[in-house]
Structures are given as C-alpha cells and as structure tokens.
C-alpha cells in the first residue's frame, strides 16, 4: 500500500508542499454524520504556524470538502478534503537543489524516485502534508466524541524542560484533557509553556532546533477494541504515529520503564465496584493482549528536532556527487512538537475509529 492506511476506514494522502494543493480521501465513514465545520477549522488552527517558535510560512489552511458530504452530513462515500498551497517560496530550494539536507528525506526521496521527486519544500515528505491529516482526524475525532471518547495531548518534555504528567485519577484526567484541548501550545503547567517558548526562541536565534515528547491520553473507549496479534491497539496506533514526519519513538503506559520494575509493580490489579471491572493502576495503558480494557490509553510520542537548521552542515550534492557545505535558507520550524501535537491526536483518532468500526456495524456510531 502506498500513501494509504486503514482497514474499516481508510485514508489516502496526496500532494506536495509546493504543488497546487494537498489533500486526503477518507473512505468508509459512517453515513449521516453531521460534521461540525467550525470544530474542523479550530483543529486546523492548532497546527498553524504562529510567532517566532514556528516557520514563517503562514498558510490559511482552509479546508474544502469536495466529495462525500451533502446537506451537512457524511454520505458514506469517499470524502475528499483539499487544502490549497498559497505561500510557497520555491527559490529557497532551487538555490540549494541537489544539496542533501541531513535528517530530512532528500536523499531517500532521490534514491526512491530516481530524481523525479518534487524536491521543493520536501515535496510529499513535508510536514505540510500533516494539514490534511488533521482535517481527516478532526472528522474521526468528532465521531468518537459523539460516542463519549475524549483525546488530549500535551508537551510533556521539550529538551530539558518537563511539564506535569497526566493524572491517574479519572476525573482529574478528564479535566486535564479539556484544559489542553483549549490550548494552542499545550502544557499542563502554564509556567512551563512560557519556559518552553523562550527556549525555542533562544535556540532558534542560534540557528538550531529542538524536539521532545508528547503525552496523549484517551478516555471513554469501550472494552474489546483491537485484535490479539497483528492489529493490536498498540500496532495500529504505532503504525499511524510513525507515519507522522519526525516521530522517532512511541511507547504505551510505562513503556521502556517496564524494564525498571518487577512484575508486582508492572501488573495492574483488578477491582470491581457496582458491577464494573477496572484496574487500580494503569501501567499497561488500558490495553491487555492488544485489546482495550476500558482504562485510559496513555501514549508517549517522541518528536525529533527539526532537521532543517541554519548552522552550516556537511553534505553531498547528489547532482555532482561532490562533498559540499550546506547553508540552509528558507523558512523552517525551530521546533515541531507544538504543531505536531494535534497531528498526534488526529492519527490516534483515525486509528481508534478504524478499530471501532470493525467492532460495530456501519452506522452504529452515528
Ligand atoms: C508539523 C510538522 C512541521 C514540520 N516542519 C518542518 C520544517 O519546518 N522543516 C523541516 O526540515 N522539517 C520539518 N518537519 C519534519 C520533516 O517533515 C521530517 O523530518 C522529514 O520529512 C523526514 O522524515 P523523518 O524525520 O520522519 O525521517 C515537520 C514535521 C511536522 C510533523
Ligand atoms: C509549510 C509548513 O511547514 C513546512 C514544513 C517543512 C518540512 O520540510 O517538513 C518545511 C517548511 O516548508 P517551506 O520551506 O516550504 O516553508 C515548513 O514551512 C506547514 O507545516 O504547513
């Protein structure tokens, strides 16, 4: 499969950063769901570049629904979302054409597409392609929310700065999710937001970039989503999360921290109250044997520092095969994580809706 993912619903991504438009086709959605277009616009807003902590390429990212939507509701046929590229500056790339950017996909794109790739702005590999993913994710998320599911993410770590973490108490977690979803720069601790923004600006002024870790929580899921082996909840969500450019690590619950504890600590003991079974801790992040157990899903996603930095780097010109020095110009994010957080929410929403659609007959979710 190329540029396409999903089993019960699917999404197909298309476009290049400096082409006419980018977009996505969502197929298999339940028919008759009323899409809230204001909510869609609000989700797009969270990914937009603003201020000195983001790229100076500002795009309206207006989403046009060109099919699969009639009289305010999904039709159930393929739904295509289109976003125009309106602020390209391709001269930034023609000047350095051939010079491979370390950490970006220039070399692998050249090798795979034999020089026919659109190299401007990273082409199809650009973080810009996450705009249609957010549009598609917003629709998936709206369907999940209508069925009692809430998703929220915050920047748990930016380089050396650590935010608070999501609470183990369900009521507090629910409030925290609502809180971070109101925010453009999502931290739990407001002081942390200021510190993180200042650090990004400082490192940007040095021509460098930063990365970090996003913590995501999902509450309100039914038990029984996911399959035992290949389509485990972890497998489906990791596949989607690693499809987001610059994502380099994904873990669930204690994750690699399981290596530091004994079984007696790793296990989540069961309890039952008023006929409802739950676990007293949630180190396994709401997933046992690949299947949801009704507790919150908790994910950590590591986003690397932006590859396009303004410090001189050693590179190779693939056109002349010479060793060269590369001095990148252009407009780049000094940090990706604050813009990536809504992309992470979006792919998680798609993956969970896809899993839910396999459990329920089409239409049950509307
Ligand atoms: C929202 C978002 C914005 C991004 N902005 C930039 C950018 O301004 N400059 C850049 O070089 N990479 C940026 N990236 C990352 C590159 O697209 C990514 O590193 C590249 O495609 C190579 O993929 P890989 O890092 O997964 O190997 C961004 C990624 C995302 C998700
Ligand atoms: C435009 C966006 O981000 C772009 C992501 C990106 C990359 O290489 O990923 C490189 C830059 O592109 P350009 O050089 O064309 O300005 C960023 O501005 C966006 O996210 O909407």
* CATH assignment of the domain containing 261: 3.60.150.10
* Dihedral over alpha carbons 227, 230, 235, 237 (to 10 degrees): -60
CA–CA separation, 248 vs 304, rounded Å? 6
Q: Which of 253, 271, 248, 276 lies closest to 340 in space, CA to CA?
A: 248
Residue 253 lies in a domain: yes
Annotated binding site for NADP(+): 47, 52
Reported as a single tens digit per residue, the pLDDT across 127-174 is 999 999 999 999 999 999 999 999 999 999 999 999 999 999 999 999
Residue 30 lies in a domain: yes
pLDDT of residue 2: 86
Q: Taking the CA atoms of 267, 269, 270 and 274 in sequence, report the sign of the dihedral they define.
A: negative
Residue 353 lies in a domain: yes
With a CB cutoff of 8 Å and minimum separation 6, the contacts of 294 are 221, 222, 223, 277, 278, 286
Residue 365 lies in a domain: no
* Pocket residues: Cβ below 6 A from ligand 2: 17, 55, 57, 59, 88, 92, 121-122, 126-128, 131, 245, 330-332
Reported as a single tens digit per residue, the pLDDT across 158-167 is 999 999 999 9
pLDDT reading at 364 higher than 60: no
With a CB cutoff of 8 Å and minimum separation 6, the contacts of 280 are 268, 269, 270, 271
Residue 366 lies in a domain: no
pLDDT of residue 361: 39
* Pocket residues: Cβ below 6 A from ligand 1: 55, 104-105, 122, 125-127, 130, 244-246, 304, 306-308, 332-333, 336, 339-340, 343
pLDDT reading at 241 higher than 60: yes
pLDDT reading at 30 higher than 70: yes
Mutate to test the pocket of ligand 1, among 333, 338, 342 (most ligand atoms within 8 A of CB): 333
Annotated binding site for FMN: 124-126, 289, 304-308, 331
**Alpha helices for the chain (secondary structure H):** 37-47, 91-94, 106-113, 130-146, 170-181, 190-205, 233-241, 263-266, 337-359
CA–CA separation, 296 vs 261, rounded Å? 21
Residue 364 lies in a domain: no
Mutate to test the pocket of ligand 2, among 88, 94, 121 (most ligand atoms within 8 A of CB): 121
pLDDT reading at 363 higher than 80: no
Domain count for the chain: 1
Reported as a single tens digit per residue, the pLDDT across 282-340 is 999 999 999 999 999 999 999 999 999 999 999 999 999 999 999 998 999 999 999 99
Largest CA distance in the chain: 72
Task: For residues 101-109, give the mean pLDDT.
Answer: 98
CA–CA separation, 311 vs 103, rounded Å? 13
Q: Identify the weakest region by mean pLDDT among 1-5, 234-238, 314-318.
A: 1-5
pLDDT of residue 360: 55
Which tokens go with 302? Answer: 């590591």
Residue 68 lies in a domain: yes
Backbone φ, ψ for residue 247 (5° rounding): -80, 125
pLDDT of residue 366: 62
pLDDT reading at 362 higher than 60: no
Confidence of residue 1 (pLDDT cuts 50, 70, 90): low
Is the ipTM above a cut-off of 0.90?
A: yes
Q: Identify the weakest region by mean pLDDT among 12-16, 178-182, 209-213, 226-230.
A: 226-230
* Atom of ligand 2 minimally distant from the CA of 125: 9
Measured between its terminal Cα atoms, the distance across the chain in Å is 29
Q: Which residues, in sequence order, are bridge partners of residue 272?
A: 277
Residue range(s) defining the domain that contains residue 325: 4-359
CA–CA separation, 146 vs 181, rounded Å? 16
Residue 291 lies in a domain: yes
Ligand 1 centre to CA of 203 (Å) is 17
pLDDT reading at 213 higher than 50: yes
Give residue 243's Cα distance to chain centre: 8
């Amino acid at each position: 499969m190329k540029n396409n993912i999903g089993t019960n619903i699917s999404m197909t991504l298309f476009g290049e950063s400096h082409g006419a438009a980018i977009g996505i086709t969502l197929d298999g959605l339940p028919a008759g769901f009323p899409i809230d277009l204001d909510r869609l616009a609000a989700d797009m807003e969270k990914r937009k570049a603003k201020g000195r902590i983001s790229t100076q390429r500002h795009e309206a990212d207006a989403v046009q629904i060109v099919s699969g939507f009639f009289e305010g509701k999904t039709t159930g046929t393929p739904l295509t979302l289109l976003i125009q590229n309106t602020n390209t500056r391709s001269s930034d790339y023609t000047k350095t054409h051939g010079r491979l950017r370390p950490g970006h996909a220039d070399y692998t794109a050249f090798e795979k597409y034999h020089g026919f790739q659109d190299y401007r702005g990273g082409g199809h590999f650009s973080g810009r392609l996450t705009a249609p993913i957010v549009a598609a994710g917003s629709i998936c998320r709206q369907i999940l929310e209508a069925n009692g599911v809430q998703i929220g993410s915050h920047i748990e770590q930016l380089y050396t700065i650590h935010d608070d973490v999501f609470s183990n108490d369900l009521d507090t977690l629910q409030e925290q999710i609502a809180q971070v979803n109101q925010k453009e720069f999502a931290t739990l601790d407001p002081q942390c937001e200021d510190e993180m923004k200042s650090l990004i600006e400082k490192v940007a002024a040095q021509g460098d970039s930063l990365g970090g870790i996003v913590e995501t929580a999902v509450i309100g899921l039914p038990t029984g989503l996911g399959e035992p082996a290949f389509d485990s909840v972890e497998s489906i969500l990791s596949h989607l999360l690693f499809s987001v450019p610059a994502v380099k690590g994904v873990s669930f619950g204690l994750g690699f921290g399981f290596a530091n504890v004994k079984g007696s600590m790793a296990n989540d003991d069961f309890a039952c109250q008023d006929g409802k079974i739950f676990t007293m801790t949630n180190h396994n992040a709401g997933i046992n044997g690949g299947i949801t157990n009704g507790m919150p899903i908790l994910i950590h996603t590591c986003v690397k520092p932006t590859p396009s930095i303004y410090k001189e780097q050693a590179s190779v010109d693939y056109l002349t095969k010479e060793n060269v020095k590369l001095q990148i110009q252009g407009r780049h994010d000094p940090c990706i994580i604050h813009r990536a957080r809504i992309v992470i929410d979006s792919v998680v929403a798609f993956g969970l809706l896809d899993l839910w659609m396999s459990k329920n007959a089409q239409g049950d979710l509307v």
